[in-house]
Amino acid sequence: MQTQRVLDEFRNEPFTDFSVAENASAYRDAVAAVRQELGREYQILIDGERITLSEKFESYNPSNKTEVVGVFSEVDVDAEALVNRAIEAASEAFKTWRNVPAAERAEYLFKAAAIIRERKHYFSSWMTFETGKTWAEADGDTAEAIDFLEFYGREMIRWAEPQPITPSPLPEINSVEYIPLGVGAIIPPWNFPLAIMVGMTSAAIVAGNTVVLKPSSDSPTIAAKFIEVLEEVGLPKGVVNFVTGSAATGNAMVMHPKTRFISFTGSKQVGLHINEQAAKTRPGQIWIKRVVAEMGGKDAIVVADDADLDAAAAGVVSSAFGYQGQKCSACSRLIVDEKVHRPLVEKVVELTKRLKVGQPTEVDSNVASVINKRSFDTTLSYIAKGIEEGGVLLAGGTGNDETGFFIEPTIIDNVEPGATIEQEEIFAPVLAVIKARDFDHALEIANDTEFGLTGALYSADENRLERAKREFHVGNLYLNRKCTGALVGVHPFGGFNMSGTDSKAGGREYLLQFMQAKSIAKKI
């Protein structure tokens, strides 16, 4: 493969402006095209061989719950044997893939990015159907996937260059090289089914590793479409192996002695289980497994008494209800100084009530369904709990699962610090409003959580902004802007405490999670 070319400096993929008639028409055409493909069956892929199993499961459209998006083989029925086969294939492929020059590995990513860019609305439309993403949310997801491919490709080329070291006082030639780890288990989430899945997978393989990819059973079709792209660019067989299943499949991947690392994004509960299982050494295992875990958040926006309330209200509503609050970075807590509580909350409620709940296939829908029936039921129980514990319902609070799993954007005021909905991640369009006595109290409430992913502060006081930099304990802090919308390369993403290992996806050090340094000294 020819790999020699001059690369432009990385630039983030622009978002689509759907107010332009041509762009809106193109997205509608993509929706119509994807609709014609709904219900197809997809196979697993091991060592370049497509395999159909007798047991199946279906992926459904959460906004139209009887509509089948894709049909998949259920690896759980024989997870140990099938996962072993996939890991053995990845192990064999690793023997050659690890020696492929970094620039050549990166070229596969660049070619995949070009294909996705060319078919951007097609990939976005799959997310509209399979995960209930509105046009803008799906477009942002696809743009981020392109960014990950372009960014990690460039970063691997950079890491493959001679690295700076201190000159030796001895007559030696010294160097440090970064080499891949081995076979990885890639377990991405459903909420960014293209971007995070692509980022986790591409980072691992561009670093020279081979992987077994198991997407969420709520979003397997989108992953299958990415596998088709990898086949189209000619990625060697066995480098990415694709299996579909649930807990049994994931456990088999995590516990296999030849699994060198696990890259996981998802809930705290599952992440801690994976970390625990990965820490156990099993027969035949010759390494300590590395775990890259990005988990949950209970993210807060703090609004001080000197804040621009219009800007704060807009940022809160966007952060809380974009993609139905189903982002680990979403604002689920609004902590506001009691002196501006009433005027701010009035603005937040007013903006929230303007949001249109509807089918994500329609351009004017702002809020669509939550991902599945379990999420729907759990969210309504949290809303009831919030009111039971003394919260005051200001907006929303109801759901309708007649056609899909729709929940009105919900605001609960007068939530006490320590209350259930102030502490536990809901992952749905539910905003808890907490009054603080002053700025000190607001920071105290914001940090009183087991998580530490994103947070934001609205204030005109530079001293307060500086104090937030020091004391607001989150991995991604935003000042006078919303707490969602991290851009690859611009906002390296990852959190503290129970939010995960702070691996900083989309940052310049992220690829180090998938490599190890080898120091080489040659006497002269």
With respect to residue 175, please indicate whether it lies within any of the assigned structural domains. Answer: yes
pLDDT tens digit sequence for 138-168: 999 999 999 999 999 999 999 999 999 999 9
Residue 397: the pLDDT is 97
| pLDDT value at 2 more than 60 | no
Domain presence at residue 379 = yes
Look at residue 6 in the predicted model and tell me its pLDDT. Answer: 81
The answer to whether residue 197 scores a pLDDT higher than 50 is yes
Query: Is 272's pLDDT higher than 90?
Result: yes
Distance separating alpha carbons of residues 346 and 338, to the nearest angstrom: 13
203 and 62 belong to one structural domain: yes
User: What is the tens place of the pLDDT at every residue in 381-408?
Assistant: 999 999 999 999 999 999 999 999 999 9
Per-residue pLDDT at 3 exceeds 90? no
For 146-195, give the secondary structure using H, E and C. HHHHHHHHHHHHHHHCCCCCCCCCCCEEEEEEEEECCEEEEECCCCCCCH
In a domain, 142, yes or no: yes
Active site residue 294: yes
pLDDT (tens digit, 9 = 90+) per residue, 74-102?
999 999 999 999 999 999 999 999 999 99
Q: How far is CA 247 from CA 60, 74, 223, in A?
A: 19, 11, 17
Q: Are residues 265 and 304 in the same domain?
A: no
User: Do 367 and 449 sit in the same domain of this protein?
Assistant: yes
Instruction: Give the pLDDT confidence score for residue 357 in this predicted structure.
Output: 98
User: Which residue in 107, 130, 137, 328 is the catalytic one?
Assistant: 328
Among candidate residues 294, 408, 422, 425, the one labeled active-site is 294
Domains identified in the chain, total number? 2
pLDDT of residue 104 exceeding 90:
yes
Residue 331 sits in a domain of what CATH number?
Answer: 3.40.309.10
Is the pLDDT at 1 greater than 60? The verdict is no
Percentage of the residues of the chain whose pLDDT score is greater than 90:
99
pLDDT at 5 over 90: no
For residue 26, what pLDDT is reported?
98
In a domain, 17, yes or no: no
Q: Is 41 part of a structural domain of the chain?
A: no
20 inside domain: no
DSSP of 228-294: HHHHHTTPPTTSEEE---SHHHHHHHHH-TTEEEEEEES-HHHHHHHHHHHTS--TT--SPPEEEEE
pLDDT averaged over every residue in the chain: 97
Q: Across residues 437-456, what is the average pLDDT?
A: 98
Q: Are residues 211 and 277 in the same domain?
A: yes
Task: Tell me the per-residue pLDDT of 453-462, one tens digit each, with 9 for 90 and over.
Answer: 999 999 999 9
Q: Are residues 283 and 368 in the same domain?
A: no
67 CB burial (10 A radius; 0-12, 13-18, 19+): middle
Same domain, 221 and 308: no
**Does 335 lie in the same domain as 291?**
no
219 and 332 in a common domain: no
Asked, for residue 411, whether it belongs to a domain, the answer is yes
Instruction: Calculate mean pLDDT across residues 321-325.
Output: 98
Spatial contact of 244 and 214, defined as CB atoms under 8 Å apart = yes
Same domain as 231, residue 266: yes
Residues 344 and 199 in one domain: no
Do 236 and 311 belong to one domain?
A: no
Residue 483 bears catalytic tag: no
Query: In this structure, what CATH number is given to the domain that contains residue 167?
Result: 3.40.605.10
Q: Which domain holds residue 418?
A: 299-493
Distance CA 453, CA 502 (A): 9
Whether 213 and 322 share a structural domain: no
Residue 485 is assigned to a structural domain of this protein: yes
> pLDDT band for position 445 (50/70/90)?
very high
Question: Each residue of 329-377: pLDDT tens digit?
Answer: 999 999 999 999 999 999 999 999 999 999 999 999 999 999 999 999 9
